[in-house]
Amino acid sequence: MTESGEPTELLTLDELCERVGMSVRNVRFYTTKGLVPPPIRRGRSGYYSRVHVGRLELVQELQSHGFTLSAIEKYVAGIPADATPEDLALARTMLAPWDVERPIEMSRAELSTRAGHELTDEELRTLAALGVVFPLKRGQYQVAVSQLSVGLGLLELGFPPEAALAAADIYAQHGREVAKELYDVFRTMVWPVYRDQGASPETVRQVVEKIKPLSIAALVSAYEAGMDETKRQGVARRSR
């Protein structure tokens, strides 16, 4: 940093585009949308800092997860204006898939072949609500292969689509709450410790990656404990 608190490394527009692998047109478009701050002016020239790089990389991460432009705008609006490159790197890391399985792409015909019959629109909506398939463009679907047989089995058993949709709403609501609170823990309690030790954002990324399996196991255990408690309370109410 300079004495005035400004970043020492500044990039030209062309250098920024090369760094993030994005066209000049897209950078300017995202700037007009407020997804990245305007360039830093030095006379008649504009320059870009690590913050610009971090925000553009965050936009790219969101795009890779299928976020629409409006969804990206809402997500970025929740990022503090004074977020550091390290804050942005942490946000990007938390967005990365927590499941080691990578979904594959299938057509509706391929899904129907797996099911053994022509899947109806309602059945596809049920599978989507269950988190087994995710509709893409041109009739293609992202499929969690390891969960496909489970989802198809539920369809065979007549699992009501209304229940799948209701469950999906519950997962989404509480999932957002858990994600926000976990992010706040990493932002306020994990990153500051590593930052003070001189660690890089890459170190924090590795920590997050290693703790993901433990977090998933903890969530499953908490769910099981909650279900057991709910059943006990139900039995107690019926026995009164």
Question: What value does the mean pLDDT take over residues 190-217?
Answer: 79
Angle formed by the axes of helices 50-64 and 13-20, nearest 10°: 40
Annotate 50-65 with b (16+ C-beta within 10 A) or e (fewer): bbbbbbbbbbebbeee
Q: What is the DSSP letter of 45?
A: E
The Cα 208–Cα 9 span in angstroms is 28
CATH of domain 1-96: 1.10.1660.10
Overall average pLDDT of the 226-236 stretch: 78
Helix (H, G, I), strand (E, B) or coil at 125: helix
Rounded Cα gap, residues 16 and 22, in angstroms? 8
Exposure string over 170-202, b if 16+ CB within 10 A, otherwise e: eeeeeeeeeeeebeeebbeebbeebeeeeeebe
Question: Counting beta carbons within 10 angstroms of the beta carbon of residue 129, is it exposed (0 to 12), middle (13 to 18) or buried (19 or more)?
Answer: buried
| pLDDT given at position 65 | 75
Please name the residue ranges forming H helices in 80-200: 85-95, 108-115, 121-129, 145-156, 161-185, 191-196
Q: What is the pLDDT of residues 15-37, one digit of tens each?
A: 999 999 999 999 999 999 999 99
Residues 6+ apart with CB under 8 A from 85: 50, 51, 53, 54, 201
Residue with tokens 């058993």: 157
pLDDT band per the 50, 70, 90 thresholds, residue 102 = low
Radius of gyration of the chain (CA): 23
Q: Average model confidence (pLDDT) for the chain? A: 84
Q: What is the pLDDT of residues 115-169, one digit of tens each?
A: 999 999 999 999 988 888 988 878 889 888 888 888 999 999 988 888 888 888 8
Q: Are β-strands 104-107 and 140-143 bridged in parallel, bridged antiparallel, or unpaired?
A: antiparallel
pLDDT at 59: 92
Q: Which helix (H) or strand (E) holds 47?
A: strand 45-47
Domain ranges of the chain: 1-96, 104-159, 179-240
